[in-house]
Each structure stands twice: as C-alpha cells, then as structure tokens.
C-alpha cells in the first residue's frame, strides 16, 4: 500500500532549501530506474489526482487521491513486472482510463486500453494490444475484449460522459505502420462505438484536431510528399483544403490546436522561423502578424484550454528554456505566487479540464539539475503540497550546471549546443563527451533535466550536445542545411563542437569521446572513422551503420511514403547519391575504425533492425579487438526495461572509465 502524500509534503518542499549533506554520487539506478511517480493527472473538475507509483519488485500501482484530503486514496490497479502503464487519462470525474504496454512483446501497436471507476471497480478491457487475442495482460481483471489493436486511445471527451475518443487505424497492405485513421467515440462501460462526424473523410489522414465538442474539424494528410490540411465547418459534411504544400520544400503551415472561438492556431513561417499564428476559420485567413514569435527559435509549445468554455488560457513554450505565456490574469497571478515560493525551478502549471473553476492546480517543478517534482497548489490558500519526485535519490547539488551556447562551425554557421559541466570547481580541462541526439531532424537539447547528460557529468565528464545543422527548432535554414549531409557537414558540426569546447578550456583535447543512439549511433561510428584525431573512443546504441540498408532492409518499419519522398530529400537518393552513400556509410569503412567502441542493440528493433549492428560488428572486429557488443533480447529501438537501462549505463560508465578517464 503506498504511503499518503501527506507524509512527503514537508520533506519535499524543504529539500530544495536545505543544504545537502550527502557525498556519494548516485549510482546508475538513481538516474535510470523507473520513475518513482509518473503520469500524474488531475481529474476534470480537480477533485482527485491520479498518480502512478512504483512499487517494490518492479511493479506499479495506479493510485487516486482526493485533492482536498490526500490521506484518502484508492488503488485502481496494480501492474505485474511484465506490464507498464504508459498513459493515464481521466474519462470524467468518476472514471479513469489508462494504457498498458505488454513488456514481453515489443511490436508496435502492442497497447492495451483499460478503464475503471476511480475506486478500482468496474474495470473494463477496451482494446486488446495484440493482433491475436491473448490472456497475458492484467490476468483475471479482464472482463471483456471488444476492440483489436487497429484501435488506440486518442483523447478525452469534454461532455462528462463515459466516452473517450479512439483512433481507428487502416493499413495499406504494404507498410508495417498504419496508412490513415478515422476518429470514433467509445463508451468505456458498454463498449459502444459511435461516429464523431458524418460524411467522407479526407484521404490519407495522419492527424486530427477536434473542437470543444470533440468533433473533428481539422485533418492533416500526407500523400506523395505533400502535406494537405483540410477543414470542415461545424454543420458541414464536406471538407475544404486550407493548404496543400510540399511537406519539406514549401512554406510551413502546421495546425496545432483550436480554441472555442472558431480560431485555429498554426505554426507558419515568419522571418525564417516557425511562429504561432491565429487562423480565422470563418474568413479562411491567416493573421497578418504572429501571435507568438521568439527570435532565434521556432515556436514549440502546448496550450492550456478551459474545457467547458473552450477558452485559451495560456501557452507553455520552449525557447532556450521552458516558460508559460498566460492570457488569463488569474492564472498569471497563480504562476507568480508559485514562482515566488519556488524560485530555483521552472514551475509549469497544468490545469484540469475545468481549469477556471478547479480548486487546485498541478505544478511540475524542475530544472536542469532537478528531475520533475509534482506539487498540488490550492488556489484559495496558496498552499503547496508535494506529491513526490520522479527520481528522489537525485540531489540537485551533486548535478552539473547546464547552459545553451552557440559556436561557429568551420563554414561560419552558428550551431546551438547545450553544455553540462560537472559539479564542482575544475582544476583544468576535463574529459569530455559529444553526446549526439537521434532523429536527426528533431530538436535535441532543452534546458531541463536530462538523465543521460547529468549521469555523465556526475562522473566528471563535460557533456556537449550540439543541435547540429539538420536539427529543427532553430529556423528553416538551419534545418535545410542538413539535407543530404549525413557524414558530411552534419558530422563536421560535431567535430567542431569538440574543438570549440577545448578552446573554452573545458575539454581535455586528448580525452574526448563521442556517443549517441539511432542517428546519434551513426554519427558516433562516422566520427570515430572520419575524425580519429579528435575522438578517443565511442559508445553507440541502436545506430544506423549503412545508409543503403535504411532503404533496403525488409525488417524495417519505414513506410513507402517515407522511402519514396521524405528520406530521398533529407538523406539522399540511393541511385543518384550512391557515391555519397558509399563515402558516408560506416559499414563500408569499418576497417578505418581503430578506437575502443561499445555497441548495443535491441533484438526486436524495427526502426533500425539488428542487421545494422550485426554486419558492422562482424566487419569492425576483423581490424579492431577492442569492440564490445551487447544485444538485449527483449528490446526494440531503445531501452524500455529498467534492468536493461541500468545495465547499459553501468557498462557505459565502466567503458568510459577505462578508455577515456584513465587514458593517458
């Protein structure tokens, strides 16, 4: 039985204020164990809060507390060691839903959807996550299985009913991932499915936006490299196109959310960056000026919307760090009171569905040195009551400082990079690691808690995380500059980050490593091959080893749409760019890699199938005896299992200690 949060309130709030007396650096488990608490969600009216709490033995319990008196709680369900609750979502004030991942099966779509009353009664199995019905998940709790894995939870409804919105996926008979979907309502008590709108839907829909009445109004389709945005009026059954653009080449126009005033908010181009604009659906016209534009950054954020009114209350944003722009003056005042009480952290307020009338708000308090802490804020009294921390064994005073910097690459391009310095005063340059994000066409770094960076920094390493060209979030030009640059200028950006860090006096030029996963794994291998004078060793996991194999592997889950359009633009064309692929594929240059290397891969990886790692390991071992290779049999593209995460990072720590820190 989990303890009442009341027993944790005072210690949690004082922890950030009192000096720390601990001296031992936390081990890998403190960073990479399953979060102590997670998926904290307020009920629609704010009367209850759901918390997923880790229990001894690798299990977890979904617990519901009364926000007025958290000593009163109910256990909704306990999981087994082979199950992981990946999402929690309230259906209404009395009923709660949650998504369960079966950890014994790694294939996509293996998600079971459940719903129960908040006291744990009337538990219903709504969606089976296996293509074949199986009896593995939640054992005797199962009452029925109505929908198969071509359905998945999409979102909550806002009418107080027992319904949720589900996405019904349709396959094209070729791809391993869905081709398109349609939204439906599903009753969580009697399994009844109903339509959310009448009429024909647009072709190839990949994304939906619903209005305050949970009716689909905006659809995003992708077909033959074009992104088509369609809209339907409230009373109409037909759809009209808002935009039809080349997904990569044309001006960006991406729908983000709707408010209750028939206003669509979109990301559109403004002075080379993606800004937040209002789009008037009555006039079918984009505003002349952005609603929010942040110099040097593309807009990235999410709204807080009051469910009953559909009113936009505020927007959470990421620039160099997280912040919130409040439109509602009362919530703006709440934010000021919370920030005054917790001045050392970024404090993000999350509203329940009925935000304006809720007696409580949920605060997620964190920083670069502190994992998320969850706190209840009572609006009438201004009192803060802690629910717990994701990783309570982490002491912020033992963590490193993290900052955004910008350095010049060899061709003059400015590259953003987050740098995490080890705690304590340096007596000179220290060993350093270029930690490379995957994607690669995503934003990699933020000023927030980064377990990997802080784990490495706590071991004494300077951690450099460049958002090399091709990364998103820093304008269209920075993104486009990375097209067809695998192993070329994208790789040089990483080398230039290492050289820049040595010029700052942070990094010991004789002790620099490179590491990363997925594309970051590819960049690790190419870095060791292309810049052996810079990198002393490398760690890669789930990495691409041959660019051609990305296009030809029958085991990959990449879609025909991606193979024929986006990948040929971003990565290259296997025929036209064959010479480029040969030059920049680590597999074909494996004999050049002489440094110590640690490789790891998941046996069931479909994004980057195991043949990438197997082929490279066989090739590199012919010329390099200092290669360690780990295969986790029950993993896909990354480490889902706690024991594997901890094992991998312990092995990484030992490898770096031997081959980097102690290197002469």
CATH of the domain at 431: 3.40.50.1820
To which H or E segment does residue 528 belong?
A: helix 519-530
Q: What is the mean pLDDT of residues 33-56?
A: 96
Query: From edge to edge, which strands make up the β-sheet containing 240-246?
Result: 205-210, 216-223, 226-231, 240-246
Report yes or no on 514 lying in a domain: yes
Sign of the four-CA dihedral 196, 201, 202, 203: positive
Report yes or no on 528 lying in a domain: yes
Classify residue 137 as exposed, middle or buried by CB count within 10 Å of its CB (0-12, 13-18, 19+): buried
Nearest Cα neighbor of 231 from 211, 217, 243, 220 is 217
Which ranges constitute the DSSP H helices of 351-488? Answer: 451-458, 476-480
What is 566-597 written as a DSSP string?
Answer: IHHHHT--TTTTHHHHHHT-GGGGGGG--S-E
Report yes or no on 415 lying in a domain: yes
Q: Interhelix angle for 451-458 vs 642-656, to 10°?
A: 40
Measure Cα distances from 529 to 437, 589, 656 in Å: 18, 7, 18
Average pLDDT, the chain: 92
Looking at residue 137, what is its pLDDT? Answer: 40
Worst-scoring range by mean pLDDT, 133-142, 171-180, 471-480? 133-142
Q: What is the mean pLDDT of residues 415-431?
A: 96
- pLDDT above 60 for 21: no
pTM: predicted TM-score of the whole model, two decimal places:
0.93
Report yes or no on 304 lying in a domain: no
Looking at residue 10, what is its pLDDT? Answer: 33
413 band by pLDDT with thresholds 50, 70 and 90: very high
Pairwise pLDDT comparison (173 vs 616), residue with the higher score: 616
Please state the φ and ψ torsions of residue 350, each to the nearest 5 degrees.
-115, 125
d(CA 418, CA 432): 13
Q: Containing domain of residue 489, as a range?
A: 399-661
Q: Please give the distance of CA 36 from its chain centroid, rounded to a whole number.
A: 19
116-130, 209-223, 399-413: which is most confident:
399-413
- pLDDT above 50 for 506: yes
The one-character DSSP state at 460 is: T
Which ranges constitute the DSSP H helices of 16-157? Answer: 28-32
Looking at residue 107, what is its pLDDT? Answer: 57
Classify residue 588 as exposed, middle or buried by CB count within 10 Å of its CB (0-12, 13-18, 19+): middle
Number of domains in the chain: 1
Report yes or no on 650 lying in a domain: yes
Report yes or no on 576 lying in a domain: yes
Measure Cα distances from 250 to 226, 243, 266, 479, 558 in Å: 9, 11, 15, 13, 23
Nearest Cα neighbor of 536 from 585, 617, 595 is 595
Looking at residue 198, what is its pLDDT? Answer: 82
Report yes or no on 595 lying in a domain: yes
Looking at residue 14, what is its pLDDT? Answer: 35
- For the chain, the C-alpha Rg in angstroms (whole number) is 25
Q: Each residue of 556-612: pLDDT tens digit?
A: 999 999 999 999 999 999 999 999 999 999 999 999 999 999 999 999 999 999 999
Query: How many Cβ atoms from other residues are within 10 Å of residue 623's Cβ?
Result: 12
Report yes or no on 429 lying in a domain: yes
- The share of the chain scoring above pLDDT 90, in percent, equals 82
d(CA 275, CA 253): 10
Looking at residue 109, what is its pLDDT? Answer: 56
- pLDDT above 70 for 483: yes
Instruction: Tell me the two tokens of residue 514.
Output: 């490179």
Please state the φ and ψ torsions of residue 143, each to the nearest 5 degrees.
-100, -30
Q: What is the mean pLDDT of residues 39-44?
A: 98
Strand partners, 363: 349, 375
Looking at residue 20, what is its pLDDT? Answer: 42
Q: Each residue of 98-148: pLDDT tens digit?
A: 999 888 776 555 789 999 999 999 999 999 876 443 333 444 344 445 798
Q: Each residue of 274-298: pLDDT tens digit?
A: 999 999 998 899 999 999 999 999 9
d(CA 70, CA 76): 15
Looking at residue 23, what is its pLDDT? Answer: 64
Contacts of 171 (CB under 8 A, 6+ apart): 150, 178, 179
Q: String of b and e for 195-222 (b: at least 16 CB within 10 Å)?
A: ebbeeebbebbbebbbbbebebbbbbbb
252 band by pLDDT with thresholds 50, 70 and 90: confident
Q: String of b and e for 290-314 (b: at least 16 CB within 10 Å)?
A: bbebbeebbbbbebbbbbbebbbbb
d(CA 62, CA 118): 10
What is 91-108 written as a DSSP string?
Answer: SSSSEEEEEEEETT--ST
Contact 369, 402 (CB under 8 A): yes
Looking at residue 58, what is its pLDDT? Answer: 84
Looking at residue 141, what is its pLDDT? Answer: 42
Q: Please give the distance of CA 460 from its chain centroid, rounded to a whole number.
A: 27
Please state the φ and ψ torsions of residue 9, each to the nearest 5 degrees.
-55, -60
């Amino acid at each position: 039985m989990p303890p009442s949060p009341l027993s944790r309130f005072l210690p949690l709030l004082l922890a950030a204020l009192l000096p720390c007396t601990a001296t031992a650096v936390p081990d890998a488990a403190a960073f990479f164990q399953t979060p102590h608490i997670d998926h904290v969600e307020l009920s629609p009216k704010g009367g209850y809060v759901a918390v997923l709490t880790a229990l001894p033995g690798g299990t977890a319990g979904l617990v519901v507390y009364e926000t007025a008196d958290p000593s009163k709680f109910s256990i909704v369900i306990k999981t087994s060691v082979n199950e992981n609750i990946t999402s929690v979502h309230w259906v209404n004030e009395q009923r709660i839903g949650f998504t369960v991942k079966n950890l014994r099966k790694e294939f996509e779509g293996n998600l079971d959807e459940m719903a129960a009353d908040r006291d744990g009664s009337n538990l219903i199995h709504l969606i089976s996550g296996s293509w074949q019905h199986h009896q593995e998940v939640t054992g005797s709790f199962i009452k029925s299985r109505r929908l198969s894995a071509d359905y998945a939870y999409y979102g909550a409804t806002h009418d107080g009913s027992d319904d949720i919105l589900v996405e019904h996926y349709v396959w094209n008979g070729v791809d391993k991932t869905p081709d398109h979907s349609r939204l439906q309502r599903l009753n969580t008590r009697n399994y009844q499915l109903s339509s959310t709108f009448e009429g024909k839907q647009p072709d190839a829909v990949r994304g939906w936006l619903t209005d305050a009445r949970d009716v689909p109004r905006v659809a995003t389709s992708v077909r033959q490299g074009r992104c088509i945005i369609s809209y339907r009026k409230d009373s109409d059954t037909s759809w009209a196109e808002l935009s039809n653009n080349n997904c990569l080449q044309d001006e960006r126009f991406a729908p983000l959310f709707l408010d209750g005033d028939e206003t669509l908010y979109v990301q559109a181009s403004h002075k080379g960056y993606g800004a937040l604009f209002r789009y008037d659906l009555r006039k079918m016209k984009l505003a002349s000026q952005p609603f929010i534009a942040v110099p040097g950054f593309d807009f990235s954020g999410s709204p807080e919307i009051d469910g009953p009114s559909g009113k936009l209350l505020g927007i959470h944003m990421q620039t160099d760090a997280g912040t919130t722009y409040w439109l509602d003056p009362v919530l703006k005042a709440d934010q000021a009171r919370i920030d005054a009480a917790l001045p050392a952290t970024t404090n993000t307020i999350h509203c329940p569905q009925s935000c304006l009338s809720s007696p409580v708000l949920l605060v997620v308090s964190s920083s670069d040195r502190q994992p998320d802490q969850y706190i209840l804020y009572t609006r009438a009294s201004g009192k803060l009551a802690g629910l717990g921390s994701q990783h309570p064994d982490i002491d912020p005073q033992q963590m490193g400082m993290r900052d955004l910097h910008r350095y010049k690459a060899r061709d003059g391009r400015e590259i953003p990079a987050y740098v995490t310095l080890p705690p304590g005063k340096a007596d000179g340059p220290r060993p350093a690691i270029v930690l490379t994000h995957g994607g690669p066409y995503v934003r990699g770094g933020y000023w927030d808690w980064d377990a990997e960076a802080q784990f490495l920094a706590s071991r004494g390493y300077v951690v450099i995380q460049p958002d090399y060209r091709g990364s998103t979030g820093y304008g269209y030009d920075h993104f486009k500059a990375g097209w067809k640059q695998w192993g070329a200028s994208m790789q040089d950006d990483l080398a230039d980050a290492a050289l820049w860090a040595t010029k700052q006096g942070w990094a010991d030029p004789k002790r620099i490593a490179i590491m990363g996963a997925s594309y970051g794994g590819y960049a690790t291998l190419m870095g060791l091959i292309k810049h052996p004078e810079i990198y002393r060793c490398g760690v890669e996991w789930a990495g691409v080893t041959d660019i051609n194999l990305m296009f030809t592997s029958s085991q990959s889950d990449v879609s025909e749409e991606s193979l024929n359009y986006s990948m040929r633009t971003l990565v290259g064309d296997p025929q036209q760019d064959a010479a480029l692929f040969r030059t920049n594929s680590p597999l074909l240059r494996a004999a050049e890699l002489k440094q110590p290397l640690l490789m790891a891969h998941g046996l069931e990886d479909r994004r980057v199938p195991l043949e990438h790692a197997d082929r490279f390991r066989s090739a590199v071992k012919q010329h390099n005896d200092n290669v360690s290779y780990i295969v986790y049999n029950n993993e896909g593209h990354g480490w889902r299992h706690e024991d594997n995460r901890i094992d991998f990072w312990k092995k990484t720590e030992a490898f770096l200690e031997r081959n980097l820190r102690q290197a002469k």
